[in-house]
Amino acid sequence: MALRIEAGVGAGLMLGLILCATPWAARAESLTFEARHRHVRNGGHGTLSVEAQRLSFRESGKGNAHSREWKYEDIQQLTLGTEVVRLLTYEDVRWQLGRDREYTFDGLPEGFVAQVRDTLLARLGSRLVASEADSSFRPMWRIPAKLERAYGGSQGVLAVGEDRVVYRTEAADASRTWPMGDIENVSSSGPYDLTITTAERFGWRRGGGREARFQLKEPLDEGRYNKLWKAVQRTKGLETGEGK
């Protein structure tokens, strides 16, 4: 899939070089990607655009009625993955008992996440849920783990860094990156158990306060667990008892 950048100004080599050197937020442009909007049956192809004030999707062909745009304040949560983007709105789906409407896009080009992550983070803050950490992530430790789900789960690696916790798995739409400030709590019932509670809206009802429970394949020693717990508490300005 191709990626193109629309600058909204005339072409030209020199002008192009100037635009490349100018921060995205300072330019009147949109980043536009080919994508597919999933429907109840199959899906429709079109263009997904990340703009300064909004996101938009323009579906081609007979599916033009599915074209939409959303101001950033109207986005309840955006889950950003390398293969799938899920956009949760405040719209009600009446035939699903008032469940909030979610739009799902796939067929995204390679490099999509790297192109849009910083822009979306600046506009959405904690409402952005990322699946993959950026290339600057350097874990202090990692441990193989299974992320439990209601029916089965996924297997991967849980990694903890100074400022975030990352779960990587090959299972579709299951990898996650949680900044320390977005983690509400961590808890454990033993060396082979770790639960991370976040504000992510998750599940059929998209309720907040997701509890991601991990079965650890190696024991998590008390020192590492305590350091993780204290890092989460510090982001909330809470006393951790360090230095006493």
65 and 16 in one domain? yes
189 domain residue, yes or no: yes
74 and 163 in one domain? no
135 domain residue, yes or no: no
Residue 176 sits at the vertex; the CA angle it makes with 70 and 2, to the nearest 5 degrees, is 55
157 and 122 in one domain? no
Q: Is the pLDDT of residue 187 over 90?
A: yes
19 and 122 in one domain? yes
Boundary residue ending a domain (83, 101, 130) = 130
Question: How do residues 205-231 score in pLDDT, each as one tens digit?
Answer: 556 668 899 999 999 999 999 999 999
64 and 43 in one domain? yes
120 and 12 in one domain? yes
149 and 55 in one domain? no
DSSP string, the chain: --EEEE-SS---HHHHHHHHTS-GGGS--EEEEEEEEE-SSSEEEEEEEE-SSEEEEEE-GGGGGG-EEEEGGGEEEEEE-SSEEEEEEEEEEGGGTTEEEEEEEE-PPTTHHHHHHHHHHHHHGGGEEESS--TT---SEEEEEEEEETTEEEEEEEEE-SSEEEEEESSTT--EEEEGGGEEEEEEEETTEEEEEE---BTTTTBS-EEEEEEESS---HHHHHHHHHHHHHHTT----TT-
**Other beta carbons within 10 Å of 236:** 11
Closest CA to 142 of 117, 174, 169, 114: 169
- Higher pLDDT pick, 9 / 225: 225
For residue 39, give its domain range: 3-130
203 domain residue, yes or no: yes
CATH number at residue 110: 2.30.29.30
Q: Is the pLDDT of residue 6 over 70?
A: no
DSSP string, 23-48: -GGGS--EEEEEEEEE-SSSEEEEEE
242 domain residue, yes or no: no
In the structure, what pLDDT confidence band is assigned to residue 242 with cuts at 50, 70 and 90?
low
Question: How do residues 79-115 score in pLDDT, each as one tens digit?
Answer: 998 889 999 998 877 766 667 888 999 999 988 998 9
Placement of tokens 């008032």 in the chain: 98
Q: Is the pLDDT of residue 36 over 70?
A: yes
User: In this predicted structure, what is the pLDDT of residue 23?
Assistant: 43
Q: Is the pLDDT of residue 5 over 50?
A: no
Q: How far apart are CA 233 and CA 186, in angstroms?
A: 9
Boundary residue ending a domain (102, 130, 158) = 130
What is the distance, to the nearest Å, from the Cα of residue 234 to the centroid of all Cα atoms in its chain? 23
75 and 13 in one domain? yes
181 and 112 in one domain? no
User: In this predicted structure, what is the pLDDT of residue 14?
Assistant: 41
241 domain residue, yes or no: no
Q: How far apart are CA 94 and CA 178, in angstroms?
A: 32
- Higher pLDDT pick, 149 / 57: 57
Lookup: tokens for 124: 């959405």
159 and 107 in one domain? no
124 and 8 in one domain? yes
Lookup: tokens for 148: 């439990």
User: In this predicted structure, what is the pLDDT of residue 82?
Assistant: 85
**Structural domains counted in the chain:** 2
116 and 22 in one domain? yes
User: In this predicted structure, what is the pLDDT of residue 16?
Assistant: 40
**Average predicted confidence (pLDDT) for the chain:** 82
User: In this predicted structure, what is the pLDDT of residue 60?
Assistant: 82
For residue 75, with 0-12 CB atoms within 10 Å meaning exposed, 13-18 middle and 19 or more buried, which class applies?
Answer: buried
Residue 51 · residue 30 · CB < 8 Å: yes
User: In this predicted structure, what is the pLDDT of residue 61?
Assistant: 73
In the structure, what pLDDT confidence band is assigned to residue 21 with cuts at 50, 70 and 90?
very low
Boundary residue ending a domain (111, 130, 149) = 130
161 domain residue, yes or no: yes
User: In this predicted structure, what is the pLDDT of residue 20?
Assistant: 43
200 domain residue, yes or no: yes
Question: How do residues 192-205 score in pLDDT, each as one tens digit?
Answer: 999 999 988 765 55
97 domain residue, yes or no: yes
